[in-house]
Amino acid sequence: MQGYIINLNRVKDEDLIVTILTQNSIKTVYRFYGARHSTIHLGYKIDFEAIPSLKSTLPQLRSIMHLGTPWNNQRERMLVWQPFIRLFYTHLKDIGTIDSFYFDLLELCSSIWQIQNPKRIAIEAYIKLLIYEGRLHDDFICFNCEEPILEDLTLIRGFLPAHKTCAWNQTFDLLHVKQLFEEQSTIALDDEQINVLWKILLEGF
């Protein structure tokens, strides 16, 4: 079985509770510190087995193989990947069975993380996620006053549109955000705007 490690929790004696996003489920497994094992980190894609255990109510994580990519050794790219992938944990942690969309989305991101700006990839992926879940507010009605937004557009958590006077965040060009929402492309946004959107994204899915 293959999946992405979306959360690690240390427990007694350096054991780990590991949450893994696979193609169709969220697996929570236990890894015993005393056993011989490969090094694992948040965000790694691994091949693994989940074996029923007599020592824990959780399955035991065994036969781990890290399915590495060249950028796993690039600190700056991992520093963006890890908080991005952790968002999947907070978003999906209470769900057992999931659609393959989330795994496939991470596969897509991972395949281009090396060659493009990671923050741009993450933002574009988040738009795809919002569309898939039916949560993208592309009608540009202010979440606060419920009036149409014709200028002074800003975005808050969940990329909800608002008037600047209703949310007091940085403003964006309406046409640029429409392009982002319609084409899932950040090409019209400069790096400063990308950094603002990245901070909004980190507030949670």
Burial class (CB in 10 A: 0-12, 13-18, 19+), 69: middle
Note whether 71 and 40 are same-domain residues: yes
| pLDDT tens profile 171-201 | 999 999 999 999 999 999 999 999 999 999 9
129 within some domain: no
196 within some domain: yes
30 within some domain: yes
11 within some domain: yes
18 within some domain: yes
Note whether 92 and 148 are same-domain residues: no
pLDDT band at 47, cuts 50/70/90? very high
163 within some domain: yes
Per-residue pLDDT for 35 more than 60?
no
Cβ-contact 149, 162 below 8 angstroms: yes
Note whether 57 and 19 are same-domain residues: yes
Distance in angstroms (rounded) separating the CA atoms of residues 175 and 168: 19
| pLDDT tens profile 64-82 | 999 989 999 999 999 999 9
Q: Which long-range contacts (CB under 8 A, 24 or more apart) does 12-20 make?
A: 16/40, 16/61, 17/58, 18/61, 19/89, 19/93, 20/46, 20/48
Distance in angstroms (rounded) separating the CA atoms of residues 12 and 34: 12
168 within some domain: yes
CATH number of domain containing 93: 2.40.50
Query: Number of structural domains, the chain?
Result: 2
In percent, how much of the chain has pLDDT > 70?
Answer: 97
Q: How confident is the model at residue 94, as a pLDDT?
A: 85
Distances (CA, A) of 120 to 30, 37, 192: 34, 35, 11
Note whether 101 and 178 are same-domain residues: no
| pLDDT tens profile 74-114 | 999 999 999 999 999 999 988 878 999 999 999 999 999 99
44 within some domain: yes
For residue 181, give its domain range: 137-204
Q: How confident is the model at residue 203, as a pLDDT?
A: 96
Note whether 91 and 170 are same-domain residues: no
SS3 helix, strand, coil % of the chain, rounded to 5?
40, 25, 35
